[in-house]
Amino acid sequence: MSRALIIGASGGIGTALMAEARSRFGTVTGLSRTRDGLDITSEASVAATLARLTGDYDLIFVATGALQIGGAQPEKALKQITETALRDQFAVNAVGPALLLKHASRLLPRDRRAAFAVLSARVGSIGDNRLGGWYGYRAAKAAVNQIVHSAAIELARTHSQAVVAALHPGTVATPFTRDFVSPDKATPPADAARNLLDVLDGLTPAQSGGFFDYAGKDIPW
C-alpha cells in the first residue's frame, strides 16, 4: 500500500496537499506545528516527532514556509534589513527543511521509486531575480534550493530511484499571499496541490535535485 507524508499539513497548501494525496495514496499522514507540536526550527522537536514514524513513505512533501515572520515585512531596500528578520527567514525556510531532510530521509524506500519534495519559490532563483528586494526570503529560498540539490546527490548513492526536488507552487490563494495579491488573481489551493503532485509524478531520478515550477518547467538557479 502506498503511503504519503505531508509536513506542514495545516497550512494553506499543506491542507490541499493532504486532500489531493488522499486521492492518490493508500495512507496519508500529516504533521504540523498546530496539531503535533512540530517545530521545524528545533532539531530536538524534528527528531522526536519523526522518530514516532516507521515504515516507508512513497512521498514526503515538506510544505512548510513563511514570508512574514514576527510582523516583519519583506524588505524593499537594504536599509530595511535586520539581523532578527534574516535569522528568522533562514530558520524557517532553510534550516527547517534541512533538518527535515536529515531526519525524514530514512523513511524513503530503497527498492522502488519515491519522492521527497520541498516547497521553494521562484524568488529564490538568483538567475531570475530582476527586481531585487525581499532580501531575507529570497536568500533563504536560494539556500534551501542548494540544500535540496546537495541532498539529492547524497541520497542517489543509497536510493537510486528517489526523486528529490524543490518546487515552486506559483502564487496560491492562501493567507500566506493575501497581503500581496488578490485571491481572484491567485491559484486555488486545490489546483496548486494537484499541479505539484502531477509534476512530481512526471519527474525521473535523472531529474532529482532540480528546481521546478508548477508546470514542471526548470527554474534557473
What 3-state DSSP class applies to 69?
strand
pLDDT digits (tens, 9 = 90+) for 33-88: 999 999 999 999 999 999 999 999 999 999 999 999 999 999 999 999 999 999 99
Q: Is the pTM of this model over 0.75?
A: yes
Q: What are the structural domains, with CATH classification, of the chain?
A: 3-213 (3.40.50.720)
Give me the pLDDT at residue 173, please. 85
Looking at 53-184, list the stretches that DSSP marks H as alpha helix, in order from N- to C-terminal side: 83-90, 96-104, 135-156
What 3-state DSSP class applies to 13?
helix
Angstrom distance (rounded) from CA 198 to CA 119: 14
Give me the pLDDT at residue 180, please. 67
Give me the pLDDT at residue 179, please. 67
pLDDT digits (tens, 9 = 90+) for 156-204: 999 999 999 999 999 998 876 666 666 767 899 999 999 999 999 999 9
